Amino acid sequence: MKYIALLLLLPVLLINTAAAQTGGAAKQAGTKADLDQLINKLGKAPPDWFQATKLNYPQSLDLNWPEKPEGGWNNQKNVGQFIWDVINPNPGRWREGVKLMHHLLTMHQKDPVKREKIMLTMAHMYHNLIEDYGRSAFWYRAVGVEKDPGEYSSSAVVLAECYWRLGYITEAKALLAKVPEGLRHAKLLGDMGDTDRSIKMALANQDEQGYSFLTAGDACRQAGRYPEALQHYQQVLAIKLPAQNPPGRMVQNHKRANANIEAIKSFELFDLKQVADGKYTAASQGYEGPVEVAVTVAKGRIQSVNVTNHREKQFYSAISDTPTKIIAKQHVKGVDTTTNATITSEAIVNATAKALVKK
């Protein structure tokens, strides 16, 4: 079934507003009506790569996608596990994953439960993998995320990020105002530059593993408030690890805090004009282990940042877009991390900072 025909199977999307809101923020691209029109236009048209992308999945895959698959872990049978193990870690197959979701949506268009799961997965893929924020927003809206952000709080935060990435920061903040507070919410506020609210929200949601302090530290670091960032990262290290069998996430958060502190201290030594032409390498803590980068400098400019070795699995677009952001800024300061791959993105930034002060 063709892309347009598939869309006709969906309920009508209520994305036309009776009254348009004008945005007061500098980054606001237009009105709420403009945003609605943009998302509607993008969502109803297939991506330029869609028709040329083959529908490629193992014939053993159970396309019924039961809620609780039988047996153990089998990424050649269970759709969710196939996406996690095969699609997500392989950028060359990301478009195939989206195509598979469209195929499943056609198959299960009369099953409202499966239809919602498929559309949410597709929205996640467009956001996390393809970085197509307009189409991601379209499918989140098709599920009803914008209408009921309390029910879909996690997805509503991602939808708000889509609005922001599309240039509609006023609409992003308006949606976030309807979402329950939490660390994901706080993280996005920090990325959008609402630093004080981000810190306040993060610290109001303290946990025993240090995520709240990491989130507050990240918001300060993003804003260039490095002394405050260091204080929050030190608060992570102040959480004592159990002497025996410390939880893996606590250990990881300690490593992240240490790596972030080391990177911020490297900023003080960072002067690109003083870096001789050449290739520099370093590594920093990622989610699964060290993330190694090679940075090439020529004529006082960062020419390339390449991830040369890593064991990350769910890195989404961080491996490609974080180096691009570093090159665009010609610095490691103020580089926002990739949503849902914050740790990997953070590791690339930290490793780049370490590489350039090893001159």
pLDDT at 16 (0 to 100): 36
| Nearest one of 10, 30, 69 to 167, comparing CA atoms | 30
CA distances from 134 to 98, 123, 292, 297 (A): 14, 10, 32, 35
Rounded mean pLDDT of 330-355? 84
Residue 23 pLDDT level (bands cut at 50, 70, 90): very low
243-275, pLDDT tens digit by residue? 888 888 899 899 999 989 988 888 766 677 778
Domain ranges of the chain: 3-180, 191-259, 271-356
**Whole-prediction pTM value?**
0.84
Is 70 exceeded by the pLDDT of residue 8? no
Enter the tokens of residue 88: 């997500």
DSSP sequence for 228-267: HHHHHHHHHHTSPPPSSS--HHHHHHHHHHHHHHHHHHHH
CATH code linked to domain 271-356: 3.90.1010.20
pLDDT at 20 (0 to 100): 31
313-325, pLDDT tens digit by residue? 877 888 888 999 9
% of the chain surpassing 90 pLDDT = 66
Beta strands in the chain (DSSP E): 278-285, 290-298, 301-309
| Nearest one of 284, 223, 212 to 255, comparing CA atoms | 284
CA distances from 5 to 8, 10, 45, 210 (A): 5, 10, 11, 48
Helix (H, G, I), strand (E, B) or coil at 322: helix
10 Å Cβ neighbour count for 77? 15
Residue 109 pLDDT level (bands cut at 50, 70, 90): very high
Rounded mean pLDDT of 44-72? 93
pLDDT at 11 (0 to 100): 47
